[in-house]
Structure 1
Amino acid sequence: MLKTALLSIALAAASLVPSAHAATAWDEAVSGDLSNVGLTPNGVSMTAGSNFVVGTTGRSVQGIVDRDYFTFTIAAGFQLDALLVLPGSTFLGPESISFIAFQAGPQFTVSPTSNSPEGLLGYWLYGPNDLGLDILQQMGSSPGAVGFFGALPAGTYSVWIQETGTGVANYNFDFQVSQVPEPGTALFMAAGLAALGWRARKR
């Protein structure tokens, strides 16, 4: 009986969650090179589910830096839950730095040569050890940034990606967006679990 009740609650909760998708939000090989200027970032569409952003960054032997900037909006009722560094991302060695940062708003106004995280919402120096992992919380807790905790709520954000080494480094990110759980759904689940706990104690 207890197993049946648990299954009923799980199925009911699942029916309240919309199905998510997985799609490429931007692939530089297909959509073109992302902007190299923070004040004029490309707009990238993000919807519920996995949103893949794929590109390259680095520095030429002549010293020309390829920075990538884009902006995206999380719609009302949704949130950015995770940012995964996917396999396919490559790195130029221990002397280089792979860098990703967020700023609130539709432009990236923090200077890339300021050497200061002031004004950044969050950032992270990602590397081979981050492959397959979610780095969103590390970004929110990096020193000197404005900072955030948990999922990023609805709003407009800008992203800066850069590799400092000489050469070309690939990046492959998954921006995972989900619908914010409705209070009614959370209460339903809590009440059901509480009832099951009470029933288990009576046995």
Structure 2
Amino acid sequence: MKKTLISILSFIASLGIVSSAQAFSLYDEVSEGDLSNVGATPTQLGSLTLGNNLLRATFNRGINTDPDYFSFTIPQGQILTEIKLNSWNTSPFFEDIAFIGIEEGLSFDFVFSNTNNANPAAGLLGWSHLRSTQIGTDKILTEMALSNLDPISSGLAIVVNEEADNNPYTPEQIAQFPSGVTEDLLKANLRSAGTIGTTGSTVGWFPGATGFKLPLGPGNYSIWLRQGSDIRISVELDFNTQKVSEPRSVLGLTLVLGLGLVTVISKRKFN
């Protein structure tokens, strides 16, 4: 596995990809106000800059429903290589297994269907179970890309079971759990994210998403952040873009990263 990853990184370097270490504040709800709560009119964030694009958002469902919808553009000549979860904060601490979905275009018209039980994720380009165990990894974009595959084929079942097995919650976090919430319950929620969802369930894998090849190429995209409880989740997401010097390099990179990451997610959690 180590040799495989080194080979991928060496190939990427040979393509002449240029990245920027400078972090750009794409949006910060604390200073810029609440992101849109309406999918038809997401907050328009414009074009991603080359390198790191940081977005800070707080969302929940609960009594005072506050989902977040926003749109952005990946410019021509650039690719989105990862969406990294930098931070996850709740008060009290709670692993609710939130949701992040992506559609093509500058609006988000997907809604969960009560009638299309065979393919409830139909209409989504991709999606992932947003969770604290993704902090510091590039799991989000990869899980979105592979969300058209069942959790066994994509490797998601292995990933979430490894997360649960690795005792992901600190003593400080456990001490903050809401009344009635236990470590075993939250670990069970993690494991259920890698199983086939059933009608009425809030955590699980659901078919219907289109899926896509990695990295994500130029175009307009919209994202939906949501979760199902009154507890508000605050996250920082890093949308990392890179530049490819030659058009033919994009295809090569897509093939290499796509195949390499399918192998990684199938065998171990991301690092």
Cα distance, 1:41 vs structure 2: 0.5
User: Aligned equivalents of 2:244 and 2:237: distance in 1?
Assistant: 22
The letter of the residue matching 1:138 is E
Residue 169 and residue 22 in structure 1: after superposition, are their counterparts in 2 closer, same or farther (change >3 A)?
Answer: same
**Which residue in 2 is equivalent to 1:80?**
80
Query: In the alignment, is residue 169 of structure 1 matched against residue 269 of structure 2?
Result: no
- The runs of 5 or more residues in structure 2 that have no matched partner are 1-12, 148-206, 251-271
2:40 corresponding residue in structure 1: 39
Q: CA deviation at 1:59?
A: 3.0
Q: Assess if the C-alpha contact under 8 Å between 1:20 and 1:49 holds in 2.
A: yes
1:183/1:69 CA distance change after superposition, 3 Å: closer
In structure 2, the residue matched to 1:199 is none
Q: CA deviation at 1:19?
A: 4.1
Equivalent residues in 2 for 1:115-194 (5 A)?
A: 116-134=120-138, 135-142=140-147, 143-182=207-246
Q: Partners in 2 of 1:159 and 1:85 — Cα distance?
A: 15
TM superposition score normalised by structure 2: 0.57
Q: Which consecutive residues of structure 1, in runs of 5 or more, have no partner in the other structure?
A: 1-11, 187-203
RMSD of the TM alignment (CA)?
2.6
Please tell me the residue identity of whatever aligns with 1:66: D
Counterpart residue number, 1:104: 104
TM-score (norm 1): 0.75
Further displaced range: 115-124 or 83-92: 83-92
The alignment of Structure 1 onto Structure 2 pairs a total of residues equal to 172
1:117/1:18 CA distance change after superposition, 3 Å: closer
Task: Determine the structure 2 residue equivalent to 1:27.
Answer: 28
CA distance in 2, matches of 1:105, 1:140: 17
In the TM superposition, what are the counterparts of 1:191-202 in structure 2 within 5 Å? none
**The 10-residue stretch of structure 1 (164-173 or 15-24) with the greater mean CA deviation from structure 2:** 15-24
Q: Which has the higher strand share?
A: 1
Confirm or deny that 1:57 pairs with 2:59. Answer: yes
The whole-number CA distance in structure 2 between the counterparts of 1:70 and 1:25 is: 11
Percent identity between the two aligned chains: 36
* Paired amino acid for 1:154: P
CA distance in 2, matches of 1:105, 1:74: 11
Amino acid at match of 1:165: S
The Cα of 1:97 is off from its aligned counterpart by: 2.9
Larger radius of gyration: 1
Conserved 8 A contact 2:60-2:228: yes
**Letter paired with 1:129:** T
Aligned mates of 1:14, 1:141 — CA distance in 2: 24
